[in-house]
A and B are shown apart, each in its own frame.
Chain A
Amino acid sequence: MLSRVANALYWMVRYIERADNLARMLEVNEQLLLDVAEPGLALHDTFWRPIILSTGDEELFNELHPEGGNREIVHFLSMDERNPNSVRSAIAQARENARTVRDQLSEALWEELNGLHLFLRSEDAERLLRANPPHFHETIRKAGYVINGIVSSNLAHDEAWHFMDLGRNMERADKTTRLLDITSFLPSTGAEASLVDHHWTAILHACGARNVFQTIHREHPTPLKIVEFLVLDREFPRSVRYCIDRADAALHQISGSPRGSFANEAERVSGRLLASLAYGSADEIMEEGLHTFLDDLQAHFNRIGEAVFREYVLLPESDESRPPIPAESVSAVVAWQLQQQQQQQQQQ
């Protein structure tokens, strides 16, 4: 398949997964607030700020909303198009990637994604978010299920599909580590510190893992057990190990090399990471420090992503025959390209 198409499909799926995870996180947080809202608690610092910190958008938020505010955070993360990581922006980017490879997508998949995009740009979406935020986020989560359902049941499981599977699992692994990282930003003193337990449970919820966890462990979830489950479990579809296992499988499907060996840098890094997860323990992780461990995981994910890009998307050889583009910045190049694309007189 075309390198450009592989890249677009990979990112389309990642953006969808990103929006889905953010919506889950927000939905669970809203539910959690209903359980523990006692007068006098610093809700902002306890519940909302950690989310912004874990997504890495604190600076932009403070700039746009110097006053802070919980509603503002929810809107900022859900619907603000000025925030490139909001649910709405992520879906818009997924849709833009989809648009560049429309011929590769089934009609049903395009329709669902385009429908979600149109909804998020509508006044209806703004109203729903104001009136009933949990319902808004549930809508996004369900659309995510539909899209993933179409991808798994309606498309040929060919090379394009493996690139999508790779993207989805890389993003999912990354988001699970970011959810867990919320606990690194919780207040450690005062009345709010007693709520930390709730947060851990909420993370399980956000991963849709509460019931599975209970079935397996039949005990109250402790941080250690939760880390073990969400990082090291072999079977749960949102655990880091499971996702990396799937990503590794997708990489080998694409290259055709047998698993357990490697044919390129991406496979080498994913294989080694997978081994360390397969033979790791929660005790070791906590000893090393959860935040440091998660940071290190994310760095590994990035290395895999970069290696995939170098192997499959960057041109096989550098192309010297193309004249240099006379422009100062990337945005100027994009604008130039846009202008030329539009100049093409399709005889209408």
Chain B
Amino acid sequence: MFEGYGTDNFYDEMFLPDGSPRPFCQTLIERFSRIPEEDFATRRAACDAHFLRHGITFNVYHDQKGTERIFPFDPMPRVIPANEWDHIEAGLTQRITALNLFLHDVYHDQQILRDGVVPASLVEGAAHYRPEFRHVDVPGDIYIHICGTDLVRGGDGEYYVLEDNGRCPSGASYLLENRNALKRAFPTVFEGAGVRPVQSYPEDLLEMLHYISPHREIDPVCVLLTPGCFNSAYFEHCYLARQMGIPIVEGRDLVVRDQFVYMRTTQGLVRVDVIYRRIDDDFIDPLVFRKDSVLGVPGLMGAYRAGNVGLANAVGTGVADDKAVYHYVPKMIDYYLGQDPILPNVPTYLAAEEDDRKYILEHLDELVVKSTNESGGYGMLMGPSASKKEIEEFHAKITAEPANFIAQPVLSLSRCPTWTDGGMRGRHIDLRPYIIYGRDVRIVPGGLTRVALKEGSLVVNSSQGGGSKDTWVLSH
């Protein structure tokens, strides 16, 4: 199964440069090697069939037929040894703490802007900054309750933070279902491997939702607010709601009366205490944000401001995961916590700054350029593989609106053995752990490992030909 496998000068998650397995992967690789290839292919196909039949799918945008696709699943797990995970966990906890302190600050006294650590123009000009919510207090001063922080490992073996997703990060359902699928199809590889379980995620999520209820004296009514069944992540919304045992609602199911939120039920109106919302700020309340939103709940922001309903995540968190603000997160960690960042950032150039812009425009063919307003791999330029026309287009866009773009060097992402038509081959991967911030910070061991299935590709997004793997964190 591993014949002809080479690490090709990349950092490989499972093999050392000399071709021998990393010690903590030895047993796993032996077990996989013992599975005959035909058998392996059958079990792999069974996983795909399972995902399709259970409707564990996502919708592809810009596709008129509204096709549902499965997120391709690769059965070879990605393994993280205990000591590395401790390092990641400490780094993420530090980072989420700083981000929440930053959000509280920019929505209150703005000390960090006045001290000139982060440019005020950057925050005030950020697309997702919500000045309407300055001086509004949120439960526990927590803004980002659920964060999906994307990590990559460079050629030096070091983990870097690629971006923080602090608005509506998706993918946690795949983390859970990938584990289920792998356990069903390849039960023997788990035996005695010491893989830490991930099942607690929905419980942790629900506990956090209870924690942010403004009405502590009662058992709070929590709901998950979805844009609807045409949204790409609709499967996940249903999945998480069911795992938590809470209702999934659409905007039209909710109504606001006297600054309290209610849901319409067959027995009349029932008060809602906490909303896990999977709708963007822009669409959440047509009275405050986009007037033409048909997905939101008129008056919801009034109820929220009055402190009558808890919202996860809070409004306005997008200013913290802005791709330009990202550059300043290490400075925030120093400013608020007096610590050095445990997990470093990827070096980032801001087109808004003149020197950086000059560098970016001269090196477009070497850099990854990202629009600060888009996510999911849309609006992105991969310099080394881009055509001349694409580079010219980005040149024009950056010159016209520099504040909307940042650039980063192309990282040599680590690779992990992945099943391909030609057998096991190295493919680039990243890692998205899910951080829950309620009474305390909890991070389910591992996260979602995404893999770029195309040879040489560095883009792991589900919408752009990526797949995913089960992520193992070892307990010893």
- A residues lining the B interface (CB < 8 Å): 1-6, 96, 99-100, 102-103, 107, 110-111, 114-115, 118, 159, 163, 254, 312-313, 315-316, 319, 321-323, 325-326, 333, 336-338, 340-348
CA distance A202 to B363 in the complex (A): 78
B265 lies within 8 A of A321 (CB) = no
**B266 contact from A100, A254, A343, Cβ within 8 A:** A254
**A325 contact from B52, B231, B294, Cβ within 8 A:** B294
Query: Which chain A residues lie closer than 8 Å to B241 at the CB level?
Result: 103
Query: Which chain A residues lie closer than 8 Å to B169 at the CB level?
Result: 346-347
CA distance A5 to B264 in the complex (A): 10
Query: Which chain B residues lie closer than 8 Å to A107 at the CB level?
Result: 54
B264 lies within 8 A of A3 (CB) = yes
Who on chain A is nearest to B166 by CB? A347
Query: Which chain B residues lie closer than 8 Å to A114 at the CB level?
Result: 53-55
B171 within 8 A of A: yes
A99 to chain B, nearest CB (A): 5
A347 lies within 8 A of B375 (CB) = yes
Who on chain A is nearest to B237 by CB? A103
B55 lies within 8 A of A110 (CB) = yes
A344 lies within 8 A of B280 (CB) = yes
Query: Which chain A residues lie closer than 8 Å to B52 at the CB level?
Result: 118
**How many residues on B have C-beta within 8 angstroms of the other chain's C-beta atoms?**
63
- The answer to whether A326 and B231 touch (CB under 8 A), given A3-B265, A344-B278, A347-B168, is no
B429 to chain A, nearest CB (A): 16
Who on chain A is nearest to B169 by CB? A347
Query: Which chain A residues lie closer than 8 Å to B278 at the CB level?
Result: 344, 346
CA distance A7 to B256 in the complex (A): 22
Contact residues, B22-57 vs A (CB, 8 A): 52-55
**B293 contact from A312, A338, A340, Cβ within 8 A:** A340
B84 within 8 A of A: no
Query: Which chain B residues lie closer than 8 Å to A338 at the CB level?
Result: 230
- The answer to whether A348 and B461 touch (CB under 8 A), given A4-B250, A102-B55, is yes
CA distance A92 to B151 in the complex (A): 40
- Would you give 15 A-B contacts (Cβ < 8 Å), ordered by A? A2-B265, A6-B266, A110-B55, A163-B266, A315-B255, A337-B228, A338-B230, A340-B294, A342-B230, A344-B278, A344-B279, A345-B167, A345-B280, A348-B171, A348-B232
A218 to chain B, nearest CB (A): 46
Please encode chain B, from 50 to 87, with 1 for each CB lying within 8 Å of some chain A CB and 0 for all others.
00111100110100000000000000000000000000
CA distance A254 to B299 in the complex (A): 31
Please encode chain B, from 306 to 321, with 1 for each CB lying within 8 Å of some chain A CB and 0 for all others.
0000000000000001
- The answer to whether A103 and B268 touch (CB under 8 A), given A319-B255, A344-B227, is no
Query: Which chain A residues lie closer than 8 Å to B265 at the CB level?
Result: 1-3
Main secondary structure of the interface of B (DSSP, over half): loop
B302 to chain A, nearest CB (A): 10
**B53 contact from A111, A313, A316, A341, Cβ within 8 A:** A111
- The answer to whether A326 and B292 touch (CB under 8 A), given A2-B253, A4-B253, A337-B228, is yes
Query: Which chain A residues lie closer than 8 Å to B376 at the CB level?
Result: 345-348
Who on chain B is nearest to A348 by CB? B376
Who on chain B is nearest to A3 by CB? B264
A110 lies within 8 A of B54 (CB) = yes
CA distance A100 to B117 in the complex (A): 47
A97 to chain B, nearest CB (A): 10
- B residues lining the A interface (CB < 8 Å): 52-55, 58-59, 61, 148, 165, 167-171, 227-236, 238-239, 241-242, 247-250, 252-253, 255-256, 263-266, 268-269, 278-280, 283, 286-287, 291-295, 298-299, 321, 374-377, 461-463
- The answer to whether A100 and B229 touch (CB under 8 A), given A2-B264, A336-B294, is yes
- The answer to whether A348 and B462 touch (CB under 8 A), given A1-B266, A312-B266, is yes
A321 lies within 8 A of B294 (CB) = no
Query: Which chain A residues lie closer than 8 Å to B171 at the CB level?
Result: 348
Query: Which chain A residues lie closer than 8 Å to B58 at the CB level?
Result: 348
**A316 contact from B61, B250, B256, B269, Cβ within 8 A:** B269
CA distance A2 to B247 in the complex (A): 8
CA distance A159 to B377 in the complex (A): 43
CA distance A115 to B55 in the complex (A): 9
A34 to chain B, nearest CB (A): 35
CA distance A115 to B248 in the complex (A): 23
**A346 contact from B53, B55, B168, B247, Cβ within 8 A:** B168
B176 to chain A, nearest CB (A): 13
Query: Which chain B residues lie closer than 8 Å to A341 at the CB level?
Result: 227-231, 295
Query: Which chain A residues lie closer than 8 Å to B293 at the CB level?
Result: 340
- The answer to whether A346 and B233 touch (CB under 8 A), given A2-B263, A337-B295, A341-B228, is yes
**A99 contact from B229, B249, B321, Cβ within 8 A:** B229
CA distance A344 to B248 in the complex (A): 17
Query: Which chain A residues lie closer than 8 Å to B299 at the CB level?
Result: 321
Query: Which chain B residues lie closer than 8 Å to A312 at the CB level?
Result: 266
Q: Report which residue of A118, A342, A343, A345 has the largest number of chain B beta carbons within 10 angstroms of its beta carbon.
A: A345
Query: Which chain A residues lie closer than 8 Å to B239 at the CB level?
Result: 103
Query: Which chain B residues lie closer than 8 Å to A323 at the CB level?
Result: 286, 291-292, 298
A-B CB proximity, top 7 nearest: A347-B165, A346-B233, A102-B238, A346-B170, A103-B242, A348-B376, A341-B227
- The answer to whether A103 and B248 touch (CB under 8 A), given A111-B53, A341-B230, A348-B170, is yes
B61 lies within 8 A of A342 (CB) = yes
CA distance A1 to B228 in the complex (A): 18
Who on chain B is nearest to A8 by CB? B229
> Knowing that A2-B253, A2-B263, A322-B286 are A-B contacts, what are 18 other residue pairs whose CB atoms are under 8 Å apart, sorted by A's residue number?
A1-B265, A2-B247, A4-B264, A5-B247, A96-B229, A100-B228, A103-B248, A110-B54, A118-B52, A312-B266, A337-B294, A341-B229, A341-B295, A342-B230, A345-B280, A345-B374, A346-B169, A348-B171
CA distance A276 to B253 in the complex (A): 38
B221 to chain A, nearest CB (A): 12
Who on chain A is nearest to B68 by CB? A99
A99 lies within 8 A of B55 (CB) = yes
